[in-house]
């Protein structure tokens, strides 16, 4: 018998999960011989997540960004220096900077949650309390130590799930997942390599745009981290504790809970797809509720998306993070919905189902009376004069 709390089971977060509805959209009249397109496929997926045959407009969309610093960044694996994540979070929370500008253009409100940000000596000043409500420490250097404790992983996963619950309770139609953090693609590459049993050179990309020397340092860090985590590949929460981070663990909880609440998610970048891969290993089949916004130049994203059987809507090359890929792909998803709705509008209305004919009950048939003969006494008949005559026995 073991002591201590029971490890978190990711199926608890996705309790109530089941697959999206299978939509039954009718064939188009204007182009009946046209082969199904990617737009048709996306429209059917979206309709299925809405329990409809034809998807409704995406009027209530929200971008959720999980931010965190990663101890492995101190090894020179990123061009983003100390303090970058804290500045990016402040800007996004104040609706400043490129991420906020793109979200405003798309008409999408933004939530940012700092779960493992290094705020420096001044702390999280000028940041709304909601941004740091579920804050944890920055993750450890995954090349030589565990990123988080088991308790921190559970707190982050449940924190991300709570964010999804709040969004669904507010009535969102679609969620976009973004990330911010120096060293985040190094963590993503390690998680993908550990889950898919790949080597470091198979998963490491240029991330923030590093040069060859930094790429080699990044590859060495991922190699060392994967050696530590390889034996944990079948235990998603253990992998998160060993080589994950608080922001990625929160994204895992967010994705699982959104799916359980029947709300689709558009993923962004290598970090979001790595979180999706970990989530799907804990709860197989949950990936049916997600799409990948845009392909990036990160090999880890391509490998994880391929394993999840998710084809990105766009290919934008190097990813900028912050949800930019998902925000850009949102236009494609909205166009697919609009086309499907227009096609349906051209079709004649479906005939009203004919009512079932009423079945009249059959009249009850009364049984004919049967003459009763007393037991043991032979029957008598009347003679011509009215006398009773017993038949000869």
Question: Cα(120)–Cα(55) distance, rounded to whole angstroms?
Answer: 46
pLDDT, residue 198, reads 95
pLDDT, residue 348, reads 63
pLDDT, residue 67, reads 97
Residue corresponding to tokens 């940000």: 117
**CB-based burial label for 354 (10 Å; 0-12, 13-18, 19+):** exposed
- What are the start-end ranges of the E strands in 121-208? 174-180
pLDDT block averages, 10 residues each, the chain of length 393: 68 88 65 71 93 92 97 93 93 94 96 94 88 94 96 97 97 96 95 96 89 94 95 93 97 97 96 97 96 94 97 86 92 94 74 68 67 53 49 47
* Cβ atoms 222, 193 nearer than 8 A: yes
DSSP assignment letter at 286: G
pLDDT, residue 393, reads 42
* Cβ atoms 242, 147 nearer than 8 A: yes
How many Cα neighbours within 13 Å face the side chain of 361?
3
The string of pLDDT tens digits covering residues 18-51 is 888 876 665 665 555 566 789 999 999 999 999 9
pLDDT, residue 2, reads 45
The model's pTM: 0.85
Decide the pairing of beta strands 388-389 and 381-382.
Answer: antiparallel
End-to-end CA distance of the chain: 92
pLDDT, residue 1, reads 36
pLDDT, residue 6, reads 74
Sign of torsion, CA 315 282 245 20? positive
Question: Cα(93)–Cα(64) distance, rounded to whole angstroms?
Answer: 11
Question: Cα(139)–Cα(141) distance, rounded to whole angstroms?
Answer: 7
pLDDT, residue 139, reads 95
pLDDT, residue 368, reads 66
Q: Find the helix or strand (DSSP H, E) in which 69 lies.
A: none
Domain 59-343 - what CATH class? alpha beta
């Amino acid at each position: 018998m073991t002591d201590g709390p029971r490890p978190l089971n990711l199926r608890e977060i996705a309790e109530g999960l089941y697959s999206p509805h299978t939509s039954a959209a009718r064939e188009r009249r204007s182009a009946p011989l046209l082969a199904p397109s990617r737009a048709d496929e996306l429209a059917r997926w979206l309709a299925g997540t809405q329990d409809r045959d034809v998807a409704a407009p995406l009027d209530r969309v929200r971008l959720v960004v999980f931010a965190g610093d990663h101890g492995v960044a101190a090894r020179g694996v990123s061009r983003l220096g100390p303090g970058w994540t804290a500045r990016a979070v402040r800007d996004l929370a104040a609706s400043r900077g490129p991420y906020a500008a793109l979200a405003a253009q798309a008409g999408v409100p933004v939530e940012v949650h700092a779960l493992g940000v290094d705020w420096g000596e001044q702390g999280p000043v000028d940041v709304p309390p909601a941004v740091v409500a579920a804050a944890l420490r920055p993750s450890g250097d995954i090349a030589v130590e565990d990123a988080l404790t088991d308790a921190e992983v559970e707190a982050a996963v449940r924190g991300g799930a709570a964010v999804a619950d709040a969004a669904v309770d507010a009535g969102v139609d679609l969620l976009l997942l973004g990330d911010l953090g120096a060293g985040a693609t190094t963590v993503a590459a390690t998680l993908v390599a550990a889950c898919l049993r790949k080597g470091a050179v198979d998963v490491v990309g240029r991330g923030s745009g590093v040069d060859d020397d930094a790429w080699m340092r990044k590859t060495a860090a991922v190699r060392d981290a994967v050696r530590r985590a390889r034996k944990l590949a079948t235990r998603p929460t253990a992998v998160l504790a060993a080589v994950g981070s608080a922001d990625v663990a929160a994204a895992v909880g967010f994705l699982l809970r959104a799916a359980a609440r029947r709300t689709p998610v558009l993923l962004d970048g290598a970090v979001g797809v790595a979180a999706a891969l970990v989530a799907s290993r804990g709860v197989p089949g949950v990936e049916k509720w997600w799409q990948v916004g845009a392909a990036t130049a990160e090999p880890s994203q391509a490998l994880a998306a391929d394993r999840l059987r998710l084809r990105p809507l766009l290919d934008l090359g190097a990813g900028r993070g912050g949800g930019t890929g998902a925000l850009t792909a949102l236009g494609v998803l909205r166009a697919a919905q609009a086309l499907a709705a227009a096609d349906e509008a051209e079709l004649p209305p479906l005939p009203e189902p004919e009512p079932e004919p009423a079945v009249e009950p059959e009249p009850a048939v009364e049984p004919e009376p049967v003459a009763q003969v007393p037991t043991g006494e032979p029957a008598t008949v009347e003679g011509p004069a009215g006398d009773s005559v017993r038949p000869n026995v």
